[in-house]
Structure 1
Amino acid sequence: MSHQPTLYTSLSPALIQLYDLNNTVVVVIDVFRATSTIAAALYNGARYVIPVDSVPKAIEISAATGGIAAGERDGKLAEGLSHGNSPMEYKRAFIEDKVLVLTTTNGTRLLHMALEQGADNIITGSFPNLSSVCNYLTAQQKNVVLACAGWKDKFNLEDTLFAGAVIARVKEHFSIHCDSSFMAEYMYRQNRNDLPGFSKNLTHYHRLVDRFGYIDDIAFCLQEDVADVLPLYKEGRLIRQG
């Protein structure tokens, strides 16, 4: 049997520095909602998405590119921006042929951390584009780090569940000796038949639903392959691959 690439799961941005990202595909995972929103925007015809780590930068870059500055802080629309981080906002009629400049509390920050650490390829993953992510990872035959965005460096379960969904599909292609990956797959397998029901236990579910009423967002973010495109990071942009 040929030597298989490795796969690890980083449960929080605070842990990402423990992993070697050189010659590695990093999957940035921020299920509620950044990476689901990125998939939705590209699926619905956005030219590309520029992920940035601050609101002023989003405003500045959108002005320079004629793009749409969007994003959230602490789950709600960021001050100074007119569009948020809801995948439901980015319907084809609105986003087609436009540039989305996105800043979020966790996901876009993690992407920049992975870049600084020398990640070879960066893609973004969420349930809406699960199949595209899995197909890409098996085709690349490179080491993989599934990088969960969590919440302000703390662990969250929805990103870990998505890591588990990926592992359940691709594990025979990788050498996996990693307790966080084992846990992620186990949690996903236990709950795969009712992710929306299980998600009602999650802290970020309550943050988004109880405080802001984003029930449709949650349903979309947990639905497999409803925006099945591969966002690939290239020269400062997330583009739709293939």
Structure 2
Amino acid sequence: MPSLDICFTPELLPLYDLRGRVAVVVDILRATSSMVTAFAAGVTHIVPVSELDDCRRLGLEQGHLTAAERDGRQAEGFDLGNSPFGYLDGVVAVRGRAVAITTTNGTTAIHRSLSADAVILGAFLNLEAVAAFLRRTGKDAVVVCAGWKGKFNLEDTVFGGALAELLQADFDVTSSDATLAAHHLWQQAKPDLAGYLLQSSHVRRLNSLEANQDMEFCVQLNEYNLVPIWHDGRLVVAEK
């Protein structure tokens, strides 16, 4: 039986051997939620980069839309920030376009996970689709929580617990203390996920930026039946 483990922050990844495993990178607020939404809105592929200059260059040289966020705010001079509504509100036409993106936490977590056999993106928005992908693959999996600047956060860990609950009939979700802890958090959170996450430091940070609608959107369950996957240096939608 394959196993599901959870890495609470990318800073702990040196303690995990990702080879032969599927890495499920999750940044609920907001990078992976926004990228899942971007694909649902018709984006062709996404190139996650670490630096603002790299993002800007892809826009200038290859015609990508540029999305950049630092400390929760849209970086100046870029087409989009890190809000899922940027792909839905029609202000920027995204269908049929490629996007270069850099964020404070999510894009770093993606790049640090590339030693895995496969790297996919998870969010509450595509929770069931991620579980179905892992069942089809049948490989050990590690949820890589993006956290906040190297530290633990609540919402990414709760996602790991929700995924563990969905997979408990098909995966070993009891051998890892991290997975057990995340599952317990999910059991507390699931009756009122949005209400539970109001205590999260990142939610308070978004509220201070008047981005509380983003949180409400990002905690919706199973809005999209798609899984972004790393392929040839970019993210695309995985085949079903």
Alignment TM-score, normalising by the size of structure 1: 0.94
Return the offset for 1:137. Answer: 0.6
Return the offset for 1:71. Answer: 1.7
TM-superposition CA deviations, 1:40-66 (whole Å, max 9, x none): 000111011111111100011122221
**Of 31, 34, 46, the match for 2:31:** 34
How much is the aligned-residue C-alpha RMSD, in angstroms? 1.2
Q: Which residue of 2 aligns with 1:103?
A: 102
How many equivalent pairs are there? 236
CA distance in 2, matches of 1:175, 1:227: 26
Alpha-carbon contact 1:44-1:92 (below 8 Å) kept: no
Q: Secondary structure at the match of 1:232?
A: strand
Alpha-carbon contact 1:45-1:92 (below 8 Å) kept: no
Does 2:48 align with 1:51? yes
Runs of 5+ unmatched residues, structure 2: none
CA distance in 2, matches of 1:233, 1:170: 22
Return the offset for 1:228. Answer: 2.8
Does 2:59 align with 1:62? yes
Mapping of residues 98-177 of structure 1, within 5 Å = 98-115=97-114, 118-176=115-173, 177=175
Say which is worse superposed, 15-24 or 224-233, in terms of deviation. Answer: 224-233
CA distance in 2, matches of 1:40, 1:160: 20
Q: Secondary structure at the match of 2:168?
A: helix
Return the offset for 1:125. Answer: 0.4
Q: Which residue of 2 aligns with 1:7?
A: 4
**Could you tell me which amino acid in structure 1 is paired with residue 103 of structure 2?**
T
| Identical aligned residues as a percent | 36
Q: Which residue of 2 aligns with 1:197?
A: 195
Alignment TM-score, normalising by the size of structure 2: 0.95
Return the offset for 1:175. Answer: 2.1
**Could you tell me which amino acid in structure 1 is paired with residue 177 of structure 2?**
D
